[in-house]
Structure 1
Amino acid sequence: MATIKEKFIGGMRQIANQAMILTTNSNKTSIANSKDLRGVTLSSCVSLAVKPYPMLQFNLMKPSFTSNVLHSNQPHRIALHSLPPTEKSTKLAKLFSKGANIQPIINSTWDQIESSKNKLKTLFDELDKKEKLINKEKTKIPEIKHLVTPFEPFTLLQKEDYGFYDNEVPFLTNSNVVFICETIPKLQFRVGDHEIWCVKVIDVLHPLVDKNDDKIDGGLLYCNKDFHSLNKTCI
């Protein structure tokens, strides 16, 4: 008989959510080093309020290097991205969802990754080889102790894949909408193995929008362990 946890997970898999990515800079004084740039794919991000100012809410699983960066007595700027439903967006969402668990793989194959024309493709090829080897040998993936080194996803991106807001906050150029936000000190809540964040929206960017095209595609959706697009309107 299924446990309530198993029933809950099965039920939530039937609910589609936006696959959104959070990015930030761990070094407020410089944008020179891509290793300082952090990011994570969010499992939940929703509109919270309009008054007294626009606010969004999201959660982070703990432990998290990204959470460690955001915790401060002063507001910390972040970017929250809604991506178009494309293959490139799917790869970005998968990359930023991996977290520090794959950083050892990145480090061990860095020479090969760095010399390739498409770093992101080379990484996923290496991950695929590792998964096939594990399945062939019928062995389990060795447990990686919690977050030994910070995840450095921007080292795998091309320079044209991202820009900076106000010469500080990294944002992904492959985005329909980018919400530039500031954290609100002491407005975070620990709930179970997650942490809920409420942030203030200070600007909204539209990197991919053509001024002559008002098409709205609904963004990249995640449901039942796969990515989807909003392809029709139900009336």
Structure 2
Amino acid sequence: MNRLRYFSSKTPPVEAYKQAMSSFGSQAMILTAPALSSSVSDLHGMTLSSVSSLTVSPEPMVQFNLQVPSRTSQTLHESGFLALHILPPVKESVRLARAFSRGTQGNCMTKPFEELRKDEWSYFTTETLKIPVLSLAERILICEKHQVFRVYNHELWTCRVREIVQRAVDADVTGGLLYFNRRFHAVGGKLEH
């Protein structure tokens, strides 16, 4: 019988943990935050691989986590709303996911919306809300903050899904953009038993 390898150090096995977590696929989604000004350079968003369904009843809710400090987190706390984008597994989605995954680099805050063409995004608007949304998304979950929990240098967000925007074109379900082994992938073939 094979024996499991245990770590005896008093600190967490960070590199082994990162390798273990990268060994399974997860959905890559882009989160965008509401516009709090009219400047494109003030728009915020990030790529997440931690989004999951939390509840369906009595209301649909999702959960995800993000690292702080984060300008996107500050904007989300101020507005209480966000958009989660389910992207098709295509090269353009990978480009967008990379653009939104850079976060803060040194003392410089990245501005992913400045890299996008005007036809790649627009605004989802209501009487009180103006959230940038990506044109490529298959579906967009418009969410409202429910509760946020701080855990070390991360925040765990729980959000109510208030509306789902779906493209009229391409009604096919693709499985979305997946993140596995530090690269982006598409869903493979069905396994038969």
User: Which structure 1 segments of 5+ residues have no match?
Assistant: 102-143
5 Å-filtered alignment, 1:74-223, equals 76-101=80-105, 144=106, 148-166=107-125, 168-184=130-146, 187-207=147-167, 209-210=168-169, 214-223=171-180
Higher helix share: 1
Asked if the contact 1:190–1:196 (Cα under 8 Å) also holds between the matched residues in 2, the reply is yes
Tell me whether 1:41 sits opposite 2:47 in the alignment: yes
> Under a length normalisation based on structure 2, what TM-score does the superposition of the two structures give?
0.86
Which letter maps to 2:97?
A
TM superposition shift of 1:25: 2.3
Q: Output the aligned Cα RMSD.
A: 1.9
Q: Classify the secondary structure of the residue corresponding to 2:191.
A: coil
Distance in 1 of aligned mates of 2:153 and 2:134: 28
Distance in 2 of aligned mates of 1:228 and 1:217: 11
Asked if the contact 2:177–2:186 (Cα under 8 Å) also holds between the matched residues in 1, the reply is yes
Distance in 1 of aligned mates of 2:171 and 2:155: 36
Distance in 1 of aligned mates of 2:163 and 2:144: 10
Q: Equivalent residue for 1:117? A: none
1:66 to 61, 64, 72: 72
Asked if the contact 1:24–1:39 (Cα under 8 Å) also holds between the matched residues in 2, the reply is yes
Residues paired across the two proteins, number = 180
Q: Equivalent residue for 1:12? A: 21
Asked if the contact 1:39–1:153 (Cα under 8 Å) also holds between the matched residues in 2, the reply is yes
> Under a length normalisation based on structure 1, what TM-score does the superposition of the two structures give?
0.71
Q: Percent identity?
A: 38
1:226 to 177, 183, 186: 183
TM superposition shift of 1:26: 4.2
Higher strand share: 2
TM superposition shift of 1:35: 1.5
